[in-house]
Structures are given as C-alpha cells and as structure tokens.
Homo-oligomer: A and B are copies of this chain.
Amino acid sequence: MKKSKSPNKKNNRFYPREECGIAGVYNIPEAANFAYLGIYALQHRGQESAGIVSTDSQLLYRYAGMGKVNDVFNSAKLKQLTGHMAIAHNRYSTTGASFLRNAQPIRFESRLGTLSLAHNGNLTNAWNLRKQLEQSGSIFQTTVDSEVIGHLLAKSSADNFEGALIESLCKIKGAYSLLLMTRDAMYAVRDPHGFRPLALGRKDDGWVVASETCALDIMDATYERDVQPGEMLIFDKSGVRSVFPFEKSTQNLCIFEFIYFSRPDSMIFEQSVYNVRIELGKILAREAPVEADIVISVPDSSNVAALGYSRESGIPYHMGLIRSHYIGRTFIEPDQKIRDFGAKIKYNAIASVVSGKRVIVVDDSIMRGTTQRKIVTMLKTAGAKEIHVRITSSMTKYACYYGIDIPSHSELIASSHTLEEIRKYLRVNSIAYLSIDGMEQAAGKQRNYCNACFSGNYPVPLGEMEAESYSNQKNLFEEYGVEEH
C-alpha cells in the first residue's frame, strides 16, 4: 500500500493555482456573516485556510483556521465576530508555507492602533523589503509577503492611517488587491497594474468588495464596477472616497483569470468570464481547425471554451470526461500500481461517448503535461480513434511573479519542448495552442493584459536583486516543516 497522497499538494501541482480570494463588507449588520458567504463563493481561489476579522468600532475580532470555509467556521464562531464591518480571506499558499500562523487576514497592534489586512497577489520586492525592515529592527512572525505591508505601515512617518498606507504602498511592487480595516474604516486598494481583480458592490446602505462578482451574487449585493487599477477606496462614516495615489502605470490585467481561475458566473475586469471563454473557444476553432467527430472538454475549467469551439466548428460538443468532486484531502493508492491512478481519481472517460470517435479535447493550459498524458491514455483505453488537443491559451513557458502558482521555468514542458515534442509526449494526433493575439482578442482588445507567463514580457521587471528576493521569499521557512494547529 502506498502512503496517503494529498492530491491538493502533489498530484495537482501541475495546475496553476490562484493564491487567494478576499471579501470586505462595510456598514452591513452581521458583517462577518456576509464576509463568510463571500469567501464561501470564492473557495475555488484557495482552500488551505480561511479567516475573518470584524469590528464593532471598538475591538477587532479575528478567527482563522486551516481548511475549507465551511470547516473553519460554524454558527457559534460567526456570532462572536460582531460588528458592521468585516474583511475575510481564503488562501492557497504561493509564498509562505501552509501554517495556521500564515492565515489571513492578519491582525496586529501598531502605532496606528489595531489593524487588519487581507491580500491577494504577490509582491515582487517583499524579500528585499523584509531584509531592510529587519535591519531597521522589525521582527517577522509569519512567512507571508503580506506581513511586510504591516511593518511598512507601522514604520511610516505619515501622521494618519491614509497617509501611512499610501506611503507604504508606494514602496511595494508587484500584484496586490488589498483590503485593510481599522476600527473606523475599511480600505480597498488595487495595484496600479491591476493584476488581480477586485469588484465593488452595493447592498442596502452598505458596500461590498470582493475578488469576483460571484461573491456579490451570493450576498444579494449589486455589482457596481471594479475597483480600478491604482485606485484606493476609503469607506468610513463620511461615505466612500476614491483616490488614485500612485503614479500612472500600464494596465496589466491577468489574462489567466479568464482562462482558468475565475468562476464562469463571475464578472472579471468588467467582463463576463463565460463570454470570454466562449470566445476563446471560437477563436481557437478558427485558428486551429481539425476534422473530428466530437469536441469534449477537460472539466470543469474548460467546459465553456469547449462549447465555444464546438459552436464555431460545428462539431458536436459532448461530455466525454466526468470529474469527481469528492476527492478530499487524502487518497490512498494500492501497492499494486493502477494505471494513471492520479488522473483516475479525478476523471473518468465515457466509452460510449468517445469509442471509435475522432475526439477534440479542449483544455485551458498545459503546465508539466503529466495529467494531460494520463487523460489521453484514458481516452484511448475508452476507444478514442484520434485525439486532437486544443489549448485555450498560449504555451506557458515562464513563471508568474504576480500571484499565480505556475511551476518553475524548468518544470514547464513548453519552456523546453517544441510543439511537436509535446504532441509526441502526449501521444496525440495533433495539438494546437491559442495565439497570444487570440487570447487578447477574446478578452477584449480595449484592455491591456499581462501575458508574461506566455511571452516572458514581465510588466514589473525583476532586477537581479528582485529575482533573488522572489525566490528567497518562496524558499523562506520552507523547511519549517511543522507548525502549530
């Protein structure tokens, strides 16, 4: 018998993973309860830990735990998180090991009072700032890059919170959609490039901010608009104020949010994820047509794009792969090896659909290629006559420094293999990726997207020092190994 495997940690490592979802609630009774609904709806963005900090304008109440939102919180705990304001966070760790201590929102005492913050994104100069802050006497108790923001705030020379926040944010580089909370006010900020999404909604007399609009839907809040790249929103007694405190910068919205991460029922960057995915499929069908009998998707992230491909090509869409939603934390493999076990616990091919057919398989991206290879085997075993792989993104060749857990350069199959080599590795009849132009066309030409993981053109270039910083931050404490829970 093999040792237990955690599919989240190992088998699925080849999937890009978003690090967090955040939600903030201002001036709504039972704010913590709504914040809870918000991160419940954002669980696809991270299931390792969940936390909420609320305030009744006197104290900041915090509860956080490892695991899924529903496992961490219960009715009794939510009841203790009183007040009309709350921020919440669920995360999958990209930087910082999987410790409870790293769970957000962070809460800390400082010169500026008791503060709390929740961060989605990744800071490219966190390690350098950390080392500088340590030199000036700061101590770090977590391994998340977000802790740096707390120290910058506390060390700022500004004489009020807003000033301190602007001063601090001007020092950090990289990707951040950020929620902060004092006893009196909530702040929502999006970095000047706008890498990660952040949506603004209304509910009754209050406001809601969340990574995706699906979190607004579950709260019965109305989507107003996005927090703009470089915008800071301040929610306090005097209402809502919008400030643009940063130098102008190019927009660099993460196109992977459309391709893979976001829920298809969300609006992201003020567009429907569903519609963009339909377009991705349609353009791919035009760019890379192939004669075949059916179009299937690798569920669930590619379902909509496959439908688009089918629509454009006229080749019928079918559900040839079924995905299990019961995987859970551990999975035990017998000693006797089972073929393609890692893929089998997640997918099953339907022979009656694919048998004897020329099959187009639409998938969102290829990282290492190992899972796709197993899926191909499953489809062949189920009788597929031909297999044509169609990817709704370009070749993923470069690491992401802005908050997406893409494998390192050396592990990405496309960074060291030609298209033909990948085709052979997957043992398929043909393979095609969508062009960068095709992706951007689907996502809307009127906006500017970050395509660094495909092109290597990093909008926030990493100097030598930053590159080292980033990798150091990633390794930081990596072998801490054990921690409390």
Contact = CB atoms under 8 A, between A and B. Distances in A.
A70 B327 contact: yes
B483 A62 contact: yes
Contacts of A484: 51, 62-65, 100, 103
A298 to B, nearest CB: 14
Interface string A448-485: 00000000000000000000000000000101111111
Contact of A350 (B137, B264, B352): B264
B275 A352 contact: yes
Contacts of A420: none
A322 B352 contact: no
Contact of A338 (B47, B101, B220): B220
A29 B70 contact: no
Interface string A17-36: 00000000000011001101
A43 B220 CA distance: 32
A69 B59 CA distance: 32
Given A137-B138, A139-B109, A319-B274, A334 B33 contact: yes
A318 interface: yes
Contacts of A75: 1-4, 330, 332
A30 B1 contact: yes
Q: How many chain copies?
A: 4
Contacts of A214: 322, 348
A79 interface: yes
A159 interface: no
A61 interface: yes
Nearest to A135: B111
Given A154-B139, A272-B352, A70 B326 contact: yes
Interface string A117-140: 000000000000010001111111
Contacts of A108: 139-141
Given A326-B68, A328-B70, A154 B138 contact: yes
A182 to B, nearest CB: 14
Nearest to A334: B33
A65 B181 CA distance: 28
Interface stretch (A226-234, A241-249, A303-311, A421-429): A303-311
Interface in A44-103: 44, 47, 51, 59-65, 68-71, 73-75, 77-81, 100-101, 103
A344 interface: yes
B264 A322 contact: yes
Interface string A195-225: 0000000000000000000100111100000
Nearest to A82: B481
Interface string A387-411: 0000000000000000000000000
Contact of A70 (B100, B134, B318, B330): B330
Contacts of A136: 137
Contacts of A368: none
A155 B137 CA distance: 4
A30 B70 contact: no
B110 A332 contact: no
A358 interface: no
A325 interface: yes
Count chain B CB atoms within 10 A of each CB in A2, A30, A137, A220 and give the residue with the most: A137
Contacts of A332: 33, 36, 73-75, 78
A381 to B, nearest CB: 9
A4 B41 CA distance: 17
Contact of A154 (B110, B137, B345): B137
A324 B325 CA distance: 10
Nearest to A62: B483
Interface in A287-306: 303-304
A422 B30 CA distance: 36
A40 interface: yes
A142 B107 CA distance: 9
A334 B481 contact: no
Contacts of A263: 322, 348
Contacts of A68: 326, 328
15 contacts: A30-B336, A40-B326, A41-B348, A59-B477, A65-B484, A70-B326, A70-B327, A73-B332, A80-B482, A109-B134, A139-B154, A141-B142, A265-B322, A265-B348, A274-B350
